[in-house]
Amino acid sequence: MRDRRRTALIALPVLILVVLAVFPFLWMAVSAFKPLSQLYTIPPRWLPSPPTLDNFRNVLFESNIPRYFVNSLIISVGSTFLALVFAIFAAYGFARFDFRGRSAALAFVLIGQLLPTATVIVPLYIVLNYLGLINTYLGLILVYLILTLPLSVWMLTGYFRSIPKELEDAAIIDGASQLGVLFRISLPLVTPGIIAVTLYSFVATWNEFVFALSFATEKEMKTLPIGLAEFSTEFDTDWGAVMAASFVMTLPIALIFLVMQRMFVGGLMSGATKG
């Protein structure tokens, strides 16, 4: 009985919470399918009737968004992969070996994750400029390692630590090299960690704004977030197109999330409770 009364009591707050969380997202989706005449009306129309694909046609065929989409994809995949390669070695080193300065190095990695990006954009620009990497894929891929590498190392270290050391010792007694152990024994066992790190890095780089704004200024090299921000200028904004482009940009993230949701939240929760 107590349970039923509780259910009734929390129904309203739960409803408010759901509306609050979902409504802006729905409003974006709905607006993306509205023709111009239905976007700019008072009172606003709740649903487009009939829904139109005009905004998507604009975005996909008459704007630079497809190019930005490809740029974002190349940069995100590149940086995610590069971070993963470096992080696998570093995390294994942190998890399996004890050496002087180990905890200091690990602390440095963690602090790197917290570094406010605005404090380093000026020197990074100068360095990239010197190396001829402004407005290149490689430039942003390298810079994005600041976002992806520290957390990848940190997370994978935890995963490697959870593997029983006896497994590795057994392989070493059987004559495997240290690298052989890493690739044949440990790496397959941390697959969930690899997937979690890959997803995290992809999402973080896909959404990144400040570095992209500063280091990719040419039309051919811009990424999706910058393209989206450019759509809305102060006086003349095609809101239907902005919402359609937002929809397009959210799709890959939504797909990743739908497929991996269980693990994503599960991993986060276990990390949080382990302390």
**Residues between 45 and 84 that touch another protein (CB under 8 A):** none
Q: Is 118 near another protein (CB under 8 A)?
A: yes
Which residue, 17 or 167, is less far from another protein as judged by CB? 17
Nearer to another protein, 174 or 272 (CB): 272
Nearer to another protein among residue 87 and residue 155 (C-beta)? 87
The answer to whether the CB of 185 falls within 8 A of the CB of 167 is yes
Where residue 101 falls (left for φ over 0; alpha for ψ -120 to 50; beta otherwise) is left
Q: Which is nearer to another protein, 27 or 220 (CB)?
A: 27
State yes or no: residue 103 binds another protein (CB under 8 A).
no
Considering only residues 212 through 271, tell me which ones interact with another protein, judged by CB under 8 A.
213-214, 224-225, 228-229, 231-232, 239, 242-243, 246, 249-250, 253-254, 257, 261, 265, 268-269
Applying CB under 8 A, among 107, 122, 170, 259 the residue interacting with another protein is 122
- Answer for which of 75, 134, 140, 145 binds another protein (CB under 8 A) is 145
Of the two residues 162 and 237, which places its CB atom closer to another protein in the complex?
237
Please name the residues in contact with 63: beta carbons below 8 A apart, sequence gap of 6 or more. 227, 231, 241, 245
Q: Say whether residue 123 binds another protein (CB under 8 A).
A: yes
Give the separation between CA 32 and CA 272, rounded to whole angstroms.
37
User: Mapped to the 3 state alphabet, what secondary structure does 64-113 carry?
Assistant: CHHHHHHHHHHHHHHHHHHHHHHHHHHHHHHHHCCCCCHHHHHHHHHHHH
Q: Does 99 bind another protein (CB under 8 A)?
A: yes
Half-sphere exposure for 114 (CA within 13 Å, toward CB): 5
Beta strands in the chain (DSSP E): none
**Cα separation, 241 vs 28, whole angstroms:** 11
Kindly state whether residue 96 participates in binding another protein, applying the rule CB under 8 A: yes
Please work out the total of residues on this chain that contact another protein, with binding judged by CB under 8 A: 90
* Residue found by looking up tokens 């590069």 in the block: 82
Neighbours of 169 (CB within 10 A): 11
Question: Closest separation between CB of residue 7 and another protein, Å?
Answer: 5
Write the CB contacts of 128 (distance below 8 Å, at least 6 apart in sequence): 134, 139, 143, 215
Our finding on whether 110 is near another protein (CB under 8 A) is no
Q: Give residue 75's identity as a one-letter amino acid code.
A: I
CA-wise closest residue to 76 among 144, 125, 26: 144
Give 189 or 250: the residue with its C-beta nearer to another protein.
Answer: 250
Q: For the chain, give the number of residues.
A: 275
Which residues in the 7-26 window bind another protein by CB under 8 A? 7, 10-11, 13-14, 17-18, 20-22, 24-25
Residue 156 engages another protein in binding (rule: CB under 8 A): no
Binding test (CB under 8 A) with another protein, winner from 33, 71, 150, 155: 150
